[in-house]
Amino acid sequence: MKLLEEKVLKEGIAVNENILKVDGFINHQIDPELMKMIGEDFAEHFKNQGITKIITIESSGIAPALMTAYTMNLPLLILKKSPSKVLNENMYQTIVTSYTKGSSYELTLASHLINAQDHVLIIDDFLANGEAATGAIRLIRKAHATVAGIGILIEKSFQPGRAKLEEQGFYVYSQVRVSKLGAGIIELTS
């Protein structure tokens, strides 16, 4: 997506070879008009596929996922992160370990909000190692629902997330693919 590529190149801050800060327009300050266009791009890309729900993971995925859901006129489900495992029979639950952050969290989805007829589009801000998306997929499978695809704002294409998801047969669409990062260096793949 041209507009987001330009934003990343102009306003993204490459801290080192792994960290790209996009606090100014995605994570901390949000430009609602840009989010609307991001949502419209996902809606166009995933149209006519029988998608019934949008799913995202709190909290940075909420804004783009909401605009996608709004454009597609579909409900949005926000997967909740909680630090500790509290078993709840009305919840689908799974543990996600973030290699980047060196921590684990539990991802939950209320079982009455999804069913086997649902065909789901997952939206998230970043794709790196793919742990969060894989966790979301585990929850969707527990409900016997199906995954239409994974829509990502910014993919770090030098990390294995895409390959892991594609190996499992999932379709990934990234609006921006970052092929290389370094202090002050951002390279994109078109």
Note the residues at the interface with its own copies (CB under 8 A): 23-24, 27-33, 35-36, 58-59, 62-63, 66-67, 69-70, 73-78, 80, 83, 110, 113
Shortest reach from residue 91's CB to its own copies, in Å: 10
Q: In sequence order, what are the beta bridge partners of 123?
A: 151
Kindly give the residue spans of alpha helices, DSSP state H, lying in 47-110: 62-72
**CB-wise, 44 or 167, nearer to its own copies?**
44
Q: Which is nearer to its own copies, 67 or 147 (CB)?
A: 67
We find the least distance from the C-beta atom of residue 49 to its own copies, in angstroms, to be 18
> How far is the C-alpha of 22 from the C-alpha of 153, rounded, in Å?
11
| Least distance between its own copies and beta carbon 121 (Å) | 13
Pick 148 or 165: Cβ nearer its own copies:
148
Return the structure tokens found at 73: 């006129």
Residue 126's alpha-carbon distances to 74, 100, 185, in angstroms, are: 22, 12, 18
